[in-house]
Copies of this chain bind each other. A is one copy, B any other.
Amino acid sequence: MEYRVDIHVDGSVRTAMAKEGANLLEVLEEAGILLYTPCGGRGTCGKCAVRVSGGGTEPSGNERRLLGERLEKGFRLACSFAVDSDICVHIDDSGEQAVILTAGARRHVVADPPVKKKYVELPHPSLGDQRPDLERLLDHTGAESGGKGLSDLTDMGMGPETLRKLPALLRSSGYRVTTVEAWGRILSVEAGDTTANLYGTAFDIGTTTVAAYLYCLNSGKLLGAASMMNPQRKFGADVISRIDRAKASRQAADEMKNLAAECVNGLTRQLAKEAGIDVKDIYAAVFSGNTTMLHLLAGLDASGIAVSPFIPVTCRTLRLDADDLGIEMNECGQAILLPCVSAYVGADTVSAVLSSGMYERDGISLLVDIGTNGEIVLGGTDGMIACSAAAGPAFEGADITFGMGGVTGAVDSFKLQGFRYTVIGNTAARGICGSGIVDTVAALLDAGAIDETGALADERTAAGLPREVRERFTVTGGMRSFVLVPEQETGIAGPITITQKDIRGIQNAKAAIAAGIETLVAEAGISYDDIGKVFLAGGFGSTIHIGSAARIGLLPRQLADRVEAVGNASGSGASECLLSRQMLRSAEQIARKIRYVELSASRIFSEKYIENMMFM
């Protein structure tokens, strides 16, 4: 038995067919609609709520608990809903139109990409010049190719397939060819002069979002940028869920790899189309991302990352045929996966260090990239140490009652005075994102509505607060909470509140980051006064209000005056490595230079973590 599912999304209707008992989340996925499912579809996060009319099995206990009154309005968790009749699904409330930073701060780099083209007109062979085809070519493509490099034997100079095509190509083109070179080898030979067509892409493969950049490798010019949600998120918001999924079976691992490739291919095609170039004229792609994302992209077994003692397969730069990863571009195209430091300090951090320039800055800098894990790097030219603090997903909106990503409908700033707030996309508020949460907690701390232990003022302690503040206290899901946006102003059923549990989540998260910073400072034997600059990387780092972050103790108050947001520094670093071999070498050097400090084995961290649970 098959049922009809009409899906109302973004003002239009799509129709899908579903077998009896089909999971609605999967039906939607097949129809091309990916919902935000931080829990991986386990029915525990409540983020995949959609409005369903026309049927459905009895709501589960989870649905009752997570949806509460919304259940009566027809909301159901797609992950927990089995289709048993023709239905209508409304997901106009999901609003997952990501607003992602697609360009960080880029320094000027001299275009010297790892993949290059060279046009040559070769002398025709004669009895006086009997050089073999390959030698004839290598002799005229300069010093970089062939004959060197490998310790044991002369390198072939090119792969066997290129060598097999070479003679016919030379003869048919009248010995006028363009070589494509990388790593001192000829990757490909093309007839005639094709040097003008040489493009490359850079990617930041985030756990949540994937950002892509298209460059002309001759000029170094940025031709376009695009981003999309990481389609792997259907298996969970965090890296552990995805590793668990990938290790379940060979098939699951392949699916995870293919999802990454499809995402990259989709962005590549979009960028190429918008720029009016041929995907086949793209010869290199550089990938930044955390260690797990790059493992999954490369098809490497990431299971060692998920469990103590947290062992990746490799942290080296990986140079692979794009074809090996299922990534579309020229058939000789190269995929370069940037180096990582450890299981939880990935290429995204290395890229951010590169892009921030802290590795060549005099004095000591601090770099913080706040996400589910907060990666923290401390140091400079003389050496760097790094750690990864498990902050949990609170700053990304997960595990927060009305939390959501930094997308349309999210409250992203809040002030107690006049209860002023802003909403991404200027729409009615549907939830609250990281920067909004931090603002709210900071404001409530300032007002004394939260005490230093993190407790929301109770009936008694709230008595001293102004009336308009007192009136905002309410109860959400049986828990004391504070109304951020009253019901009449929201785009959802009911008010948007921040609960006592949410505040505990923020306490945990900020304690982890702060303790991570303090641990590195202690490891380095320095004081905050020695830190000349703080780089805040990543989307959250760009939107957060420094004053609020310092107020809640997420960042050291003493350093608030020297903070610089560097945006998507991971994507910028990847772009720099695409355009410059020197930057690629620098990334390698950075990855080797950074000493990793394992916090789960650090007594200092444990102590600092407890200390930082308090609001001071």
On A, residues with C-beta under 8 Å from B are 114, 125-135, 148-154, 156-157, 160, 163-164, 166-168, 183-184, 298-301, 303-304, 308-320, 324, 339, 342-343, 581, 584-585, 588, 596, 598, 600-601
Contacts and interface: CB of A to CB of B under 8 A. Distances in A.
A132 B315 contact: yes
Nearest to A166: B313
A160 B299 contact: yes
A132 B319 contact: no
Q: Which of A160, A183, A317 counts the most B-chain CB atoms under 10 A from its CB?
A: A160
A301 B299 CA distance: 35
A437 B318 CA distance: 62
13 contacts: A126-B309, A127-B309, A130-B311, A131-B311, A149-B149, A152-B183, A153-B588, A157-B316, A160-B320, A160-B324, A163-B298, A164-B299, A166-B301
Contacts of A157: 314, 316
Contacts of A129: 309
Q: Which of A128, A164, A600 counts the most B-chain CB atoms under 10 A from its CB?
A: A164
B316 A160 contact: no
B324 A154 contact: no
Nearest to A133: B313
B343 A130 contact: yes
Contacts of A308: 127
Q: Which of A148, A152, A309, A596 counts the most B-chain CB atoms under 10 A from its CB?
A: A152
A106 B148 CA distance: 31
Given A150-B184, A304-B133, A585-B153, A313 B125 contact: no
A319 B164 contact: no
A567 to B, nearest CB: 26
Q: Main secondary structure on chain A at its contact with chain B?
A: loop
B167 A317 contact: no
Contacts of A584: 152-153
Contact of A312 (B133, B310, B311): B133
Given A125-B304, A156-B317, 15 more contacts: A114-B152, A127-B310, A128-B601, A130-B342, A150-B184, A152-B581, A152-B585, A153-B584, A154-B588, A156-B318, A160-B318, A163-B298, A164-B300, A167-B301, A167-B303
Contact of A134 (B133, B164, B168, B313): B313
A600 B128 CA distance: 11
Contact of A183 (B135, B150, B596, B600): B150
Contacts of A168: 301
B312 A156 contact: no
Given A149-B149, A164-B299, A312 B588 contact: no
Contacts of A311: 125, 130-133, 167
A300 B130 contact: no
A148 B316 CA distance: 13
B127 A598 contact: yes
Q: Which of A184, A311, A315 counts the most B-chain CB atoms under 10 A from its CB?
A: A311
Contacts of A154: 316-317, 339, 588
Given A132-B314, A156-B314, A299-B160, A151 B148 contact: yes
A167 B303 CA distance: 9
A129 B339 CA distance: 19
A154 to B, nearest CB: 5
A313 B167 contact: yes
Nearest to A311: B125
A126 B160 CA distance: 42
Contacts of A152: 114, 183-184, 581, 584-585
A612 to B, nearest CB: 22
A133 B311 CA distance: 7
A131 B343 CA distance: 10
